[in-house]
Amino acid sequence: MACDSKQSGRLGEERGTKVDIPASSAAVGGGCVAGQGSAEPIPGEVPRGGSLTADQAERYEEEGYLVLPDLLDDEDLAPARAAMMQKVDQMAADLLAGGLITDPLIDEPFRTRLARLFDGLGEEEFLAYGRSWRDRLPGYFVLMSNPKILDAVESLIGPEIYSNPVYNVRPKVPRVAAGAVPWHQDKSYWPDANSNPVITVWISLVDATLDNGCLHMIPRTQREQLLNFGEETYSGTGYLQVEDRHFDQSLRSRVRALPVKTGTAVLFNDRLIHSSTPNNSDHVRWSVDLRYQPTDQDPMPQYGAGFLARSRVHPERVANLEDWLAGRPEALPGD
């Protein structure tokens, strides 16, 4: 089966401002499977490539998620880790200046430093920095632009890829309620957006285990419409959650825990029901969740500025670090 591909589209450079950006093929439930069928390409269509096998793409389509062990190595993760530690340095300085700690623990390892800084402090102190982070630091752009990630995403939605502005750094700290995320569909955070599919790419920067709060998925729930949801009320974080009435025993029996090693990527559809459990370890469960979508869909400027991450039609428009730091979704003409 060939996937239709449009050749024009527009994304907002700033809110209310339009700028030409190529559009890509839209796909429902994870996209067309690369390499299947014998149909000839549509004239003018940009061929779909990517790094996933046909079996992997089909598994994503069927289950709503795909686990890619060892997608990223330490070199790939180093820029994001540096950005995280830059944030932790600032938090330590704030806590020290506020008299809440006496030692910034500058020699403590990445895996444990944030946990030790907040050991003995309350959830209020931690939540002052947010339940997740979306700082515009260079290391995050490097990660979002990593070809290994984009190659996998291209297999599912084609080569015209927009990096959605909703990306999150998740420092799941032990004994902080914000670490547990209730059952939800990511799409509940953008229910009215004309974006289908949005692919979440969740990446673990340490081993994610049952003890420190790994992801839990309910396969094939991406086939459901957006379910009724509301804000949870027990942690003070305001996370959205699927209403309890949707969870019968049949649904609960399908839950799969996903303990994974450092550098693993989990790709999933924004309608897939998922959660993560509390961190009962002595270290931080560091992860990031990035999001990608075809360029012909809603860029969601109300959440900030995303960027054109890949284009075979107009590679000259792909945003660089300077563009991203300036909040521009694509390269300036002549760059």
CA angle 43, 47, 51 (to 5 degrees): 170
pLDDT at 121 over 50: yes
Could you tell me if residue 7 is inside a domain?
no
pLDDT of res. 231: 54
Could you tell me if residue 18 is inside a domain?
no
Per the structure, the complete domain to which residue 195 belongs is given by 59-156+165-292
Residue 181's DSSP bridge partners are: 276
pLDDT band at 298; cut points 50, 70, 90: confident
pTM for the predicted model, two decimal places:
0.81
Tens of pLDDT along 164-220? 999 999 899 987 756 677 777 777 666 666 667 789 999 999 999 999 999 999 898
Question: How far is the C-alpha of 84 from the C-alpha of 101, rounded, in Å?
Answer: 20
Question: How far is the C-alpha of 122 from the C-alpha of 106, rounded, in Å?
Answer: 21
Tens of pLDDT along 230-281? 555 555 556 766 666 667 777 778 889 999 999 999 999 888 888 888 899 9
Could you tell me if residue 191 is inside a domain?
yes
Could you tell me if residue 115 is inside a domain?
yes
pLDDT of res. 34: 31
Nearest one of 1, 9, 335, 327 to 160, comparing CA atoms? 9
Could you tell me if residue 319 is inside a domain?
no
Pair 6, 25: CB distance under 8 Å? yes
Choice among 37-51, 100-114, 227-241, 312-326 with the minimum mean pLDDT: 37-51
pLDDT of res. 185: 78
Task: Express the helix, strand and coil content of the chain in percent, nearest 5 each.
Answer: 25, 20, 55
Could you tell me if residue 2 is inside a domain?
no
pLDDT of res. 254: 87
**Pairing of β 168-172 and β 285-294:** antiparallel
Could you tell me if residue 107 is inside a domain?
yes
Question: How far is the C-alpha of 20 from the C-alpha of 332, rounded, in Å?
Answer: 11
Nearest one of 284, 11, 335, 89 to 173, comparing CA atoms? 284
pLDDT of res. 4: 34
Question: How far is the C-alpha of 150 from the C-alpha of 170, rounded, in Å?
Answer: 21
- What value does the mean pLDDT take over residues 26-42? 34
3-state secondary structure of 258: strand
pLDDT of res. 67: 97
pLDDT of res. 237: 58
- Residue 201 burial class via C-beta count within 10 angstroms: exposed 0-12, middle 13-18, buried 19 and up: buried
pLDDT band at 57; cut points 50, 70, 90: very high
pLDDT band at 44; cut points 50, 70, 90: very low
Average pLDDT, the chain: 81
- Choose between 102 and 41: higher pLDDT: 102
Could you tell me if residue 14 is inside a domain?
no
Extract the tokens encoding 152: 């996998």
Instruction: Report the number of distinct structural domains present in the chain.
Output: 1
- What value does the mean pLDDT take over residues 104-132? 91
pLDDT of res. 238: 64
Percent pLDDT > 90 in the chain is 54
CATH (domain of 279): 2.60.120.620
pLDDT of res. 165: 93
Choice among 39-53, 154-168, 303-317 with the minimum mean pLDDT: 39-53
pLDDT of res. 77: 98
Residues 6+ apart with CB under 8 A from 116: 105, 108
Count other C-beta atoms under 10 Å from residue 177's C-beta.
16
How many alpha carbons lie under 13 Å from residue 245 in its C-beta half-sphere?
A: 4
